[in-house]
Amino acid sequence: MSKIAIINPNMSVGFTDKIRDQARTIAFPHSDIIALNPSFGPDSIEGYYDEAFASVGLLSVIREIDPTGIDGYVVACFDDTGVDAARCLTAAPVMGLCEGALRFAQALAGRYAIVTPMAVSVRPLEHLVRKYGADRDCVVRAAGVRTLDFEGSQAARAYEALLLAAQKSLREDDAEAIVLGCAGMTDIADRLKADLGVPVIDGVQAAIKMVEGMASLKLSTSKHSTYGYPPAKPYHGLFAGFEPVTG
């Protein structure tokens, strides 16, 4: 059995519950799925400031649970918040939603679009797309709604905005597939796929499947150089006692 930890770096318990339910629906029977939030952080992650703020909470969770025998981590934020830092803190594979979704999209379509809730996320996601080598084939669009609108009374309006933005990208950007640019959209992927008639890639599902595959192959994050454990040194103030656990 593989133990997969899905960490939502923001404080939206509703999003975490939604992600957990979706993960357990699509995960292999032999996967033990846990999903959790940090004890501090932003309510949602929208842009660079929220991303930096949320990264510390993400790392605090990994530091706490890694000794319990986690076989793989999914960082349940489409900004791939703190993923590189997390890979330095654990030997288990770590996958963010954007990277996982793009790897799937590259195999399914010649051109594809990420549809994200807010315009403030467009440039950060364009930078990620370039980092992952997908900038020639991927465009990023904003639906013009808030991330938290995909919960509660605003969910229907948020879906309509997402649908319109996706249709516009198929029409104007020559996109052949749509990538959902927010973890909170994970429960509407099948509906959007039916409405659009093209592949719709949910980063939560994609990242889980990639981590499950790496865990089943007993692969680990290389500590040879790039993702080596941080050097031992004291941390001060709020971060006293936050020295990395190096197994």
Q: Are strands 178-180 and 72-75 parallel, antiparallel or unpaired?
A: unpaired
pTM to 2 decimal places: 0.93
User: 44: number of CA atoms within 13 Å, CB side?
Assistant: 18
For residue 119, which of 142, 93, 91 has the smallest C-alpha distance? 142
How confident is the model at residue 47, as a pLDDT? Answer: 85
Q: Do the beta carbons of residue 173 and residue 139 sit within 8 Å?
A: yes
How confident is the model at residue 167, as a pLDDT? Answer: 98
Rounded to whole angstroms, how far apart are CA atoms 77 and 128? Answer: 13
How confident is the model at residue 246, as a pLDDT? Answer: 61
Q: Do the beta carbons of residue 146 and residue 185 sit within 8 Å?
A: no
How confident is the model at residue 116, as a pLDDT? Answer: 96
How confident is the model at residue 75, as a pLDDT? Answer: 98
* Regions of the chain where pLDDT drops below 50: none
Extract the tokens encoding 3.
Answer: 């133990």
Q: Do the beta carbons of residue 183 and residue 101 sit within 8 Å?
A: no
How confident is the model at residue 247, as a pLDDT? Answer: 54
Extract the tokens encoding 126.
Answer: 């364009």
